[in-house]
Structure 1
Protein backbone atom coordinates (compact mmCIF):
# COMPACT_ATOMS: atom_id res chain seq x y z
CA UNK A 1 0.00 0.00 0.00
CA UNK A 2 1.18 3.49 -0.77
CA UNK A 3 2.39 5.44 2.28
CA UNK A 4 3.80 8.94 2.51
CA UNK A 5 7.59 9.16 2.30
CA UNK A 6 7.80 10.71 5.77
CA UNK A 7 5.98 7.72 7.28
CA UNK A 8 8.93 5.44 6.48
CA UNK A 9 11.87 5.07 8.85
CA UNK A 10 15.56 5.61 8.14
CA UNK A 11 15.95 1.82 7.81
CA UNK A 12 13.46 1.58 4.91
CA UNK A 13 14.92 -0.05 1.81
CA UNK A 14 15.58 2.16 -1.20
CA UNK A 15 15.68 1.09 -4.83
CA UNK A 16 16.82 3.62 -7.43
CA UNK A 17 16.31 3.38 -11.18
CA UNK A 18 18.22 6.03 -13.17
CA UNK A 19 16.69 7.04 -16.47
CA UNK A 20 18.78 7.20 -19.61
CA UNK A 21 17.03 10.49 -20.31
CA UNK A 22 14.85 12.96 -18.47
CA UNK A 23 11.13 12.31 -18.37
CA UNK A 24 9.32 14.82 -20.51
CA UNK A 25 6.85 17.13 -18.71
CA UNK A 26 3.89 15.57 -20.52
CA UNK A 27 5.02 12.07 -19.39
CA UNK A 28 5.33 12.86 -15.69
CA UNK A 29 1.62 12.85 -14.71
CA UNK A 30 1.04 9.46 -16.32
CA UNK A 31 4.24 7.99 -14.82
CA UNK A 32 3.33 9.29 -11.37
CA UNK A 33 -0.16 7.79 -11.66
CA UNK A 34 1.21 4.42 -12.78
CA UNK A 35 3.65 4.39 -9.85
CA UNK A 36 0.96 5.38 -7.37
CA UNK A 37 -1.42 2.71 -8.72
CA UNK A 38 1.32 0.11 -8.45
CA UNK A 39 2.15 1.10 -4.87
CA UNK A 40 -1.52 1.17 -3.82
CA UNK A 41 -1.97 -2.38 -5.13
CA UNK A 42 0.83 -3.82 -2.99
CA UNK A 43 -1.56 -4.61 -0.17
CA UNK A 44 0.87 -6.06 2.34
CA UNK A 45 3.84 -3.81 1.56
CA UNK A 46 4.25 -0.24 2.76
CA UNK A 47 5.88 1.57 -0.13
CA UNK A 48 6.42 5.09 -1.35
CA UNK A 49 8.09 6.56 -4.41
CA UNK A 50 9.72 9.73 -5.63
CA UNK A 51 10.76 11.03 -9.01
CA UNK A 52 13.91 13.12 -8.66
CA UNK A 53 15.42 15.49 -11.20
CA UNK A 54 12.83 14.20 -13.69
CA UNK A 55 15.24 11.31 -14.24
CA UNK A 56 15.29 8.92 -11.26
CA UNK A 57 12.56 6.58 -10.08
CA UNK A 58 13.05 5.94 -6.38
CA UNK A 59 11.08 3.38 -4.40
CA UNK A 60 11.19 3.36 -0.60
CA UNK A 61 9.94 0.17 1.05
CA UNK A 62 9.27 -0.28 4.75
CA UNK A 63 11.66 -2.68 6.48
CA UNK A 64 8.59 -3.93 8.37
CA UNK A 65 6.87 -5.06 5.16
CA UNK A 66 9.65 -5.95 2.69
CA UNK A 67 9.03 -7.01 -0.87
CA UNK A 68 8.72 -10.76 -1.29
CA UNK A 69 10.03 -12.30 -4.50
CA UNK A 70 6.72 -11.99 -6.35
CA UNK A 71 6.29 -8.31 -5.42
CA UNK A 72 9.92 -7.59 -6.30
CA UNK A 73 9.39 -9.23 -9.69
CA UNK A 74 6.24 -7.13 -10.15
CA UNK A 75 8.26 -3.98 -9.47
CA UNK A 76 10.89 -4.98 -12.04
CA UNK A 77 8.13 -5.76 -14.55
CA UNK A 78 6.66 -2.29 -13.98
CA UNK A 79 10.06 -0.71 -14.58
CA UNK A 80 10.49 -2.77 -17.75
CA UNK A 81 7.05 -1.69 -18.96
CA UNK A 82 7.99 1.95 -18.35
CA UNK A 83 11.21 1.43 -20.29
CA UNK A 84 9.33 0.08 -23.29
CA UNK A 85 6.46 2.56 -23.16
CA UNK A 86 8.68 5.64 -22.83
CA UNK A 87 11.62 4.35 -24.88
CA UNK A 88 14.28 4.73 -22.20
CA UNK A 89 16.53 2.61 -20.01
CA UNK A 90 15.98 2.45 -16.24
CA UNK A 91 17.64 -0.83 -15.26
CA UNK A 92 21.24 0.10 -16.16
CA UNK A 93 22.97 1.20 -12.98
CA UNK A 94 26.51 1.06 -14.40
CA UNK A 95 26.50 4.46 -16.08
CA UNK A 96 27.62 7.53 -14.17
CA UNK A 97 24.93 10.01 -13.16
CA UNK A 98 26.12 13.42 -12.06
CA UNK A 99 25.05 17.02 -11.68
CA UNK A 100 25.96 19.80 -14.05
CA UNK A 101 24.48 22.88 -12.49
CA UNK A 102 20.87 22.07 -11.58
CA UNK A 103 20.66 19.23 -14.13
CA UNK A 104 21.31 15.53 -13.72
CA UNK A 105 23.34 14.04 -16.55
CA UNK A 106 24.25 10.45 -17.41
CA UNK A 107 27.36 9.18 -19.18
CA UNK A 108 28.97 5.85 -19.84
CA UNK A 109 32.17 5.38 -17.84
CA UNK A 110 34.55 6.00 -20.79
CA UNK A 111 32.72 9.25 -21.57
CA UNK A 112 32.88 10.30 -17.92
CA UNK A 113 36.64 9.59 -17.90
CA UNK A 114 36.97 11.82 -20.96
CA UNK A 115 35.12 14.58 -19.09
CA UNK A 116 37.64 14.22 -16.25
CA UNK A 117 40.56 14.43 -18.68
CA UNK A 118 39.07 17.50 -20.38
CA UNK A 119 38.28 19.14 -17.01
CA UNK A 120 34.52 18.95 -17.69
CA UNK A 121 34.06 17.46 -14.22
CA UNK A 122 36.15 17.53 -11.06
CA UNK A 123 36.45 15.79 -7.71
CA UNK A 124 33.83 18.28 -6.48
CA UNK A 125 31.27 17.31 -9.13
CA UNK A 126 28.23 15.77 -7.44
CA UNK A 127 27.56 12.18 -8.49
CA UNK A 128 24.66 9.88 -7.62
CA UNK A 129 25.29 6.56 -5.88
CA UNK A 130 22.57 4.15 -7.07
CA UNK A 131 23.87 1.35 -4.86
CA UNK A 132 22.69 2.81 -1.59
CA UNK A 133 20.29 0.61 0.35
CA UNK A 134 18.39 2.61 2.98
CA UNK A 135 16.38 5.79 3.29
CA UNK A 136 19.09 7.13 5.61
CA UNK A 137 21.77 6.55 2.95
CA UNK A 138 19.48 8.07 0.33
CA UNK A 139 19.09 11.24 2.37
CA UNK A 140 22.76 11.46 3.36
CA UNK A 141 24.92 9.67 0.80
CA UNK A 142 23.10 9.47 -2.52
CA UNK A 143 24.55 12.76 -3.79
CA UNK A 144 28.27 12.94 -3.05
CA UNK A 145 31.33 14.65 -4.52
CA UNK A 146 32.96 12.43 -7.14
CA UNK A 147 36.23 12.51 -5.18
CA UNK A 148 34.44 10.80 -2.26
CA UNK A 149 32.68 8.19 -4.40
CA UNK A 150 33.60 4.95 -6.13
CA UNK A 151 34.76 7.15 -9.03
CA UNK A 152 37.59 8.72 -6.98
CA UNK A 153 40.21 6.39 -8.47
CA UNK A 154 39.63 7.98 -11.89
CA UNK A 155 40.99 11.35 -10.72
Structure 2
Protein backbone atom coordinates (compact mmCIF):
# COMPACT_ATOMS: atom_id res chain seq x y z
CA UNK A 1 0.00 0.00 0.00
CA UNK A 2 1.44 3.34 -1.02
CA UNK A 3 0.63 6.43 1.01
CA UNK A 4 0.94 10.11 0.11
CA UNK A 5 3.73 11.96 1.95
CA UNK A 6 0.96 14.25 3.27
CA UNK A 7 -0.90 11.35 4.89
CA UNK A 8 -1.85 12.08 8.49
CA UNK A 9 -0.11 10.18 11.26
CA UNK A 10 -0.72 9.70 14.96
CA UNK A 11 2.08 8.40 17.15
CA UNK A 12 1.20 6.72 20.43
CA UNK A 13 4.18 5.97 22.66
CA UNK A 14 4.00 3.25 25.28
CA UNK A 15 5.61 3.70 28.67
CA UNK A 16 7.09 0.20 28.31
CA UNK A 17 8.19 -2.06 25.50
CA UNK A 18 5.61 -4.52 24.22
CA UNK A 19 6.58 -8.19 24.40
CA UNK A 20 6.75 -10.02 21.04
CA UNK A 21 3.45 -11.81 21.76
CA UNK A 22 1.78 -8.55 22.79
CA UNK A 23 3.03 -6.92 19.61
CA UNK A 24 1.48 -9.67 17.46
CA UNK A 25 -1.86 -9.43 19.28
CA UNK A 26 -1.90 -5.62 19.13
CA UNK A 27 -1.02 -5.65 15.41
CA UNK A 28 -3.92 -8.04 14.80
CA UNK A 29 -6.25 -5.68 16.65
CA UNK A 30 -4.87 -2.67 14.73
CA UNK A 31 -5.17 -4.47 11.39
CA UNK A 32 -8.81 -5.36 12.06
CA UNK A 33 -9.48 -1.75 13.01
CA UNK A 34 -7.75 -0.09 10.05
CA UNK A 35 -9.32 -2.48 7.53
CA UNK A 36 -12.81 -1.30 8.53
CA UNK A 37 -12.04 2.27 9.69
CA UNK A 38 -14.54 4.67 8.18
CA UNK A 39 -15.31 8.38 8.20
CA UNK A 40 -18.99 9.17 7.59
CA UNK A 41 -19.42 5.85 5.80
CA UNK A 42 -16.34 6.32 3.60
CA UNK A 43 -13.55 3.77 3.97
CA UNK A 44 -10.28 5.28 5.07
CA UNK A 45 -7.03 4.22 3.43
CA UNK A 46 -5.25 3.44 6.69
CA UNK A 47 -2.49 1.36 8.19
CA UNK A 48 -0.99 0.77 11.60
CA UNK A 49 2.41 -0.41 12.72
CA UNK A 50 4.47 -0.80 15.85
CA UNK A 51 8.02 0.55 15.73
CA UNK A 52 10.81 -0.32 18.16
CA UNK A 53 8.28 -2.15 20.35
CA UNK A 54 7.16 1.18 21.87
CA UNK A 55 5.37 3.22 19.21
CA UNK A 56 1.98 2.56 17.67
CA UNK A 57 1.71 4.59 14.48
CA UNK A 58 -1.59 5.09 12.67
CA UNK A 59 -1.47 6.46 9.12
CA UNK A 60 -4.40 7.70 7.02
CA UNK A 61 -4.08 8.80 3.41
CA UNK A 62 -6.74 11.48 3.03
CA UNK A 63 -6.60 11.43 -0.77
CA UNK A 64 -9.29 8.70 -0.56
CA UNK A 65 -11.43 10.12 2.28
CA UNK A 66 -10.86 12.70 4.99
CA UNK A 67 -10.60 11.79 8.63
CA UNK A 68 -13.42 13.19 10.77
CA UNK A 69 -13.78 13.89 14.47
CA UNK A 70 -15.86 10.72 14.86
CA UNK A 71 -13.25 8.58 13.08
CA UNK A 72 -10.47 10.03 15.23
CA UNK A 73 -12.58 9.34 18.34
CA UNK A 74 -12.92 5.69 17.30
CA UNK A 75 -9.13 5.37 16.99
CA UNK A 76 -8.67 6.96 20.44
CA UNK A 77 -11.17 4.46 21.88
CA UNK A 78 -9.09 1.66 20.37
CA UNK A 79 -5.91 3.05 21.96
CA UNK A 80 -7.70 3.28 25.32
CA UNK A 81 -8.72 -0.40 24.94
CA UNK A 82 -5.09 -1.35 24.20
CA UNK A 83 -3.95 0.65 27.23
CA UNK A 84 -6.37 -1.17 29.50
CA UNK A 85 -5.80 -4.64 28.06
CA UNK A 86 -1.99 -4.43 28.15
CA UNK A 87 -1.58 -2.17 31.19
CA UNK A 88 0.41 0.47 29.33
CA UNK A 89 0.20 4.25 29.16
CA UNK A 90 -0.16 5.55 25.58
CA UNK A 91 -1.30 9.09 26.37
CA UNK A 92 1.29 10.43 28.82
CA UNK A 93 3.08 13.15 26.86
CA UNK A 94 5.53 13.56 29.75
CA UNK A 95 7.20 10.23 28.96
CA UNK A 96 10.33 10.93 26.91
CA UNK A 97 11.77 8.48 24.41
CA UNK A 98 15.36 8.52 23.21
CA UNK A 99 18.00 6.15 21.87
CA UNK A 100 21.16 4.89 23.53
CA UNK A 101 23.38 2.61 21.43
CA UNK A 102 20.48 2.00 19.05
CA UNK A 103 18.08 0.95 21.83
CA UNK A 104 14.94 2.96 22.61
CA UNK A 105 14.51 4.00 26.23
CA UNK A 106 11.45 5.68 27.71
CA UNK A 107 11.72 7.70 30.92
CA UNK A 108 9.56 10.13 32.85
CA UNK A 109 10.12 13.83 32.18
CA UNK A 110 11.87 14.14 35.56
CA UNK A 111 14.27 11.26 34.88
CA UNK A 112 14.92 12.57 31.36
CA UNK A 113 15.69 16.01 32.79
CA UNK A 114 18.14 14.47 35.27
CA UNK A 115 19.88 12.57 32.46
CA UNK A 116 20.23 15.79 30.46
CA UNK A 117 21.54 17.54 33.56
CA UNK A 118 24.23 14.91 34.20
CA UNK A 119 25.10 14.83 30.47
CA UNK A 120 23.91 11.24 29.88
CA UNK A 121 21.69 12.80 27.20
CA UNK A 122 23.46 15.38 25.07
CA UNK A 123 22.80 17.50 22.00
CA UNK A 124 23.47 14.54 19.67
CA UNK A 125 21.25 12.00 21.47
CA UNK A 126 18.42 10.86 19.19
CA UNK A 127 15.01 11.76 20.63
CA UNK A 128 11.51 11.11 19.31
CA UNK A 129 9.19 13.92 18.28
CA UNK A 130 5.78 12.25 18.59
CA UNK A 131 4.05 15.48 17.56
CA UNK A 132 4.73 14.85 13.87
CA UNK A 133 1.52 15.07 11.85
CA UNK A 134 2.30 13.76 8.37
CA UNK A 135 4.05 10.75 6.90
CA UNK A 136 6.70 13.07 5.48
CA UNK A 137 7.36 14.52 8.94
CA UNK A 138 7.45 11.03 10.43
CA UNK A 139 10.20 10.10 7.98
CA UNK A 140 12.25 13.28 8.47
CA UNK A 141 11.41 14.84 11.85
CA UNK A 142 10.40 11.99 14.14
CA UNK A 143 13.85 10.65 15.11
CA UNK A 144 16.10 13.67 15.46
CA UNK A 145 19.14 14.79 17.44
CA UNK A 146 18.20 16.49 20.71
CA UNK A 147 19.65 19.78 19.42
CA UNK A 148 17.17 19.78 16.48
CA UNK A 149 14.08 18.91 18.52
CA UNK A 150 11.51 20.66 20.66
CA UNK A 151 13.26 18.94 23.59
CA UNK A 152 16.20 21.33 23.23
CA UNK A 153 13.87 24.31 23.77
CA UNK A 154 12.29 22.82 26.89
CA UNK A 155 15.54 21.48 28.40
CA UNK A 156 18.03 24.00 26.91
CA UNK A 157 18.89 25.46 30.32
CA UNK A 158 20.43 22.11 31.27
CA UNK A 159 22.87 21.69 28.40
Q: Which moved more, 1:140-149 or 1:64-73?
A: 64-73
CA deviations 1:53-95 (Å, max 9, x no partner) are: 0110001111222221221111000000000000000112232
Distance 1:148 1:70 in 2: 34
Distance 1:110 1:92 in 2: 13
CA deviations 1:31-72 (Å, max 9, x no partner) are: 110000000111411101111001100011112222212211
Deviation at 1:102, TM superposition (A): 2.1
Query: What corresponds to 2:122 in structure 1?
Result: 122
Query: What corresponds to 1:47 in structure 2?
Result: 46
Distance 1:28 1:48 in 2: 15
Quick check: which one's strand share is greater?
2
Question: Alignment length, in residue pairs?
Answer: 150
TM-score (norm 2): 0.90
TM-score (norm 1): 0.92
How large is the RMSD of aligned CA atoms in angstroms? 1.1
Unaligned runs of 5+ in 1: none
Query: What corresponds to 2:19 in structure 1?
Result: 24
Paired residues of 2:9 and 2:132 also in contact (CA < 8 A): yes
Secondary structure class of the residue paired with 2:150: coil
Unaligned runs of 5+ in 2: none
Check if 1:87 corresponds to 2:82.
no
**Runs (4+) of structure 1 moved beyond 4 Å?**
none
CA deviations 1:7-50 (Å, max 9, x no partner) are: 11100001000000000112111111000000011141110111
CA deviations 1:89-129 (Å, max 9, x no partner) are: 01122321111122211122221111012221111000000
